[in-house]
Amino acid sequence: MDLSSFEADNSSSCRLASHIPEVCRTEDCCLGIDEAGRGPVLGPMVYGICFCPVSKKEDLKDLKVADSKTLTETERENLFQKLDEAKSYIGWALQILSPNTISTSMLQRTKYNLNALSHDTAIGLVQYALDSGVQLKEVFVDTVGPAEKYEEKLSQLFPGIEVTVRPKADSLFPVVSAASICAKVARDRVVKDWKFAEDLGEVDTDYGSGYPNDPKTKAWLLKYMDPVFGYPQFVRFSWSTAQTLMDSKAATVHWDDDDEETGEKAAQRQNNRSMLSYFSASAGGKDHNPTRKTHRFFTERRLKSLNTL
Amino acid sequence: MSCNTSVTRLCVSSVNEAQRAPVHLTPCEIEHNGPAQVSQYFTATTKNRKQEQTVSFRGRCLRGQELSCPQGYTGLVLKEINKPGSDQEDRTVKVSSVFDKLTYWNLETPPNSDDTVVMAMDWPELAEAIHGPVED
């Protein structure tokens, strides 16, 4: 697994894939989908697919793949090695969603929530397998949301493919376990060796599991908070853990699409004369001559005369 | 608001000592007055694609571009030397840095010629045409 293309720019989303086994282009195949790193406040979320001919299901089972969560890191690495050695009939692909992608999607003006992002990523990976010529007949998906609706959605999108969506699918279907191992191995490696794009010097990598309730993660989040910028891009800003910490310890930031602030409060704040107020038509306000309206040329450009700083 | 009996003085001599500094105009207001680790966090993660730049701030995507000050103008960053106790007292500001271009950032929207700050730069030329001396 070569992670260098993601590491070259770990602020974006990145797809990694194995070679497509020739047999997967000619024989009916099954495919499993699972994700790793949905809950942590740190690092990427990784979506994985794994596929093989339906006729090879038993061989896959014999590799003794299991739900990645029940395995140790070493066991996962060993199993990934085995999957890789079986590349004559097993293929995989991953979509690494960087923490920055997660933050900027979830905090977008028109919110793009994690479930929608997850579904779109999974769909994108299935489409990738189809576009690569894999003869998909069965798809097995692990889900955290309501399984039935998701199953219906996928079945409609991919007619002719039998879609099975189940909670805990990673422990029910070996091909999903295999996908979960690929995803988890990638996530672990990326987190362990995170290249900070920020210029932070030596960074303490003892950030624990990345889960919000891990004391090590909490301590790390406190240590690496910047009063202005908040966090490096390694942190998911859209997680309430990060937001709560910033609310209490970092400078407050106001955006024009904030909804909790009333117009009056915003106007009051503008009187504190931010940089922006020099371009604002409403700031100050008192020095307007009420009988003469400012020409649209100026209001459109938020230009006004200043007689005091 | 002051009733403008006070006078604000600008130490003109400080212009010569002022350093040129990079200036960013952000689409948000940060309740912070003081130094910030701009180069470590912001500049280090800014990506350049042709004219357009992208970066994220507090988990939100910003897209920006460089904008020059109008011809013949210099941007000034002013700093108040001693904050007066009341708005009746005179005030003195000095130039802490100067700039002839700035980077302005939109929240998610690609920078374009309709952006307020871009259009605002039209004014000096128009003002010159309206108010400048007439030559023939």
Q: How many beta-carbon pairs under 8 angstroms link A with B?
A: 112
Length reported for chain A: 309
Give the nearest chain B residue to A309 (CA atoms): B8
**Which of A294-298, A302-306, B5-9 comes out lowest in average pLDDT?**
B5-9
Beta-carbon separation of B117 and A279 below 8 A: yes
Domain layout of chain A by residue ranges: 3-193, 215-248
Q: Say whether residue A277 is in contact with chain B using an 8 A CB cutoff.
A: no
Confidence (pLDDT) at A35:
95
Q: Which residues in chain A (6-35) have CB-CB distances under 8 A to chain B?
A: 11
A295 touches chain B (CB under 8 A): no
pLDDT at A296: 87
Are the Cβ atoms of A275 and B40 closer than 8 angstroms?
no
Range A191-206 average pLDDT: 92
Per the prediction, chain A carries an average pLDDT of 89
A233 in B contact zone (CB under 8 Å) = yes
Strand bridging mode A162-166 / B24-25:
unpaired
**How distant is the alpha carbon of residue A209 from its chain centre?**
17
Of residues A166 and A284, more confidence is placed in A166
pLDDT over 90, % of chain A: 70
What is the average pLDDT across B41-51? 92
If we measure between CA atoms, which residue out of A75, A91, A70 comes closest to residue A21? A91
Provide the pLDDT for residue B1.
47
pLDDT digits (tens, 9 = 90+) for A56-106: 998 998 888 877 778 899 999 999 999 999 999 999 999 999 999 999 999
* A142 annotated among ligand-binding-site residues: yes
Question: pLDDT-based confidence at A275, cuts 50/70/90?
Answer: low
Q: Which residue of A has its CA nearest to B60?
A: A104
Chain B CB within 8 Å of residue A257 CB: yes
Q: B14: pLDDT confidence band, cut at 50, 70 and 90?
A: confident
Please give the pLDDT value at position A236.
98
Is there a contact between A228 and B41 if contact means CB atoms under 8 Å apart?
yes
Q: Determine the Cα angle at A182 with ends A181 and A184, to 5°.
A: 65
Mean pLDDT, rounded, for B115-124? 90
More confident residue, B88 or B64: B64
Q: How much is the CA Rg of chain B, to the nearest whole Å?
A: 18
Consecutive H or E run containing A126? helix A114-131
Q: Is the pLDDT of residue A130 over 50?
A: yes
**Nearest C-alpha of chain A: how many angstroms from B120?**
5
Judged against a pLDDT cut of 70, whether residue B64 lies above it is answered with yes
* CATH H-level, domain A3-193: superfamily: Ribonuclease H-like superfamily/Ribonuclease H (3.30.420.10)
CB-CB under 8 Å, A301 with B107: no
The tens digit of pLDDT for each residue in A212-228 reads: 999 999 999 999 999 99
**Whether residue A272 has pLDDT greater than 60:** no
pLDDT of residue A291: 58
Give me the CATH code for the B8-27+40-131 domain, please: 2.40.128.680
pLDDT digits (tens, 9 = 90+) for A133-156: 999 999 999 987 789 999 999 999
Residues of A in contact with B27 (CB under 8 A): 255-256
pLDDT-wise least confident of A35-44, A192-201, B1-10, B80-89: B1-10
Q: What is the mean pLDDT of residues B90-106?
A: 93
Provide the pLDDT confidence category of residue B2 given band limits of 50, 70 and 90: very low
C-alpha B94/C-alpha B79 separation (Å) is 5
A255 touches chain B (CB under 8 A): yes
CA distance B11 to B78: 10
Picking from A104, A109, A287, the nearest residue to B56 by CB comes out as: A104
- Say how many C-beta atoms besides its own lie within 10 A of residue B97's C-beta: 16
The residues pairing with B101 across neighbouring beta strands, listed in sequence order, are: B68
Q: Looking at per-residue confidence, does A1 or B32 come out higher? A: B32
Task: Inform me whether the C-beta atom of residue B81 falls under 8 Å from chain A C-beta atoms.
Answer: no
Q: Least CA distance to B27: which residue of chain A?
A: A255
pTM attached to this predicted model: 0.87
**Residue in chain B nearest A10 by alpha carbon:** B45
